[in-house]
Chain A
Amino acid sequence: MSVNPLDLSGKTVLVTGATGGIGRGTAVLLSSLGARLIVSGRKLDVLESTGGKLCGVGHRVSTFDLARLEAIPEWLSGLIQEIGPLDAMVHCAGVGSLLPLRLLRTEHLEEVMSVNFYSAAVLTREFARKRAHREPASIVFVASTAGMLGTPARTAYSASKGALIAFAKSAAMELAKSGIRVNCVAPSYVATEMYERTMASLTQEQLNALVENTQPLGLGTPADVAGAIAFLVADTSRWITGSVLAVDGGYSAQ
């Protein structure tokens, strides 16, 4: 008899940002491992497309804009009332930013911090409520190597992802006794819509330099990141919390 250590049968998982490349890839993989998914994002048509790719039945699609921080508690508690407590939450929602320091405005900082970090903090607080989760539970944030290593023109993005990593470590300590593990994956350059949008302001030469000279294993795919997330959601990582798993083709090894 074969055993799948990543089996997620009977688990309910919320995936935010499921309209983006990593969120969509994660939702599809987790469903193929047996999980029941709640996928969220801002755009209904794209979200429904993700929902259509999921394996199995019983999944839910929920449109929501996480920039509406004050509305998160009601939205999440409504979902939980409807489908029961969550076993895991994967926060993939995020916004890219490529802007030199000289052009940085507080409004831009606020927008990036709000989507990439504040929403994660509010979601975690709500997930940690007793009726919202079922032990043992797992939270995974999609951070970035930018949160650990410096890159020109990415100060706002780096700050938001660095905050996310620091938040995850403290939340992991605070929630360990509640049976909730909190970890991050830290991808570098991955072939997603966000990558294409963010990098649209770079020339081909700059792009080549970024990827070929920095990632020995080349450009990553959403599936590469989804695999690492599945590991952190499943019981395979039951003794891992507060960690940051680099999924970066070797970017941070240099």
Chain B
Amino acid sequence: MNTAEFCRNLEEVLDLPSGTLKCGDVLAQLEAWDSLAVISFLAMADEKYSAVIPPKRIPECKTVDDLVALIRETGK
């Protein structure tokens, strides 16, 4: 998985314009990052990267990069 591809997938599930997400973006500052976005991210991680992420790990993630690291850690 490369980070750029992940950003495009996350943009897709969060309904953001293509190319708007960057690695260092702070999740708390993204208007689209809400409880439904978290569920969407978890479903996308499972579907696209076979990564079953425990939801309690999500609060650890502060940036888009942290989400990528979490998928790399938990994915197959």
A interface residue numbers (CB < 8 A to B): 98-100, 102-103, 152-153, 200-204, 206
Contacts and interface: CB of A to CB of B under 8 A. Distances in A.
A100 B36 contact: yes
Nearest 5 Cβ contacts at the A-B interface: A201-B42, A100-B40, A203-B55, A103-B43, A153-B39
Contacts of B54: 200
Interface residues of B, number: 17
B59 interface: yes
Interface of B: 12-13, 15, 35-36, 38-40, 42-44, 47, 54-56, 58-59
A103 B59 contact: no
A243 B74 CA distance: 46
Contacts of B42: 201
A201 B39 contact: yes
Nearest to A209: B35
Query: Which of A98, A102, A200, A201 has its CB near the most chain B CB atoms (within 10 A)?
Result: A201
Given A152-B36, A153-B36, A206-B35, A100 B43 contact: yes
A162 B15 CA distance: 28
Contacts of B59: 203
Contacts, number: 39
A96 B18 CA distance: 32
Given A102-B15, A152-B36, A201 B43 contact: yes
Contact of A202 (B12, B13, B39, B47): B39
B55 A201 contact: yes
B58 A203 contact: yes
Given A202-B55, A203-B56, A98 B39 contact: yes
Contact of B55 (A103, A153, A200): A200
Contacts of A202: 39, 55
A200 B39 CA distance: 10
Nearest to A207: B55
A153 B47 CA distance: 16
A106 to B, nearest CB: 15
Contacts of B44: 103
Nearest to B52: A200
Contacts of A152: 36
B18 to A, nearest CB: 15
Contacts of B15: 102
Contact of A102 (B35, B38, B40, B58): B40
A103 B39 CA distance: 10
Contacts of A102: 12-13, 15, 40
A152 B38 CA distance: 13
Contacts of A204: 55-56
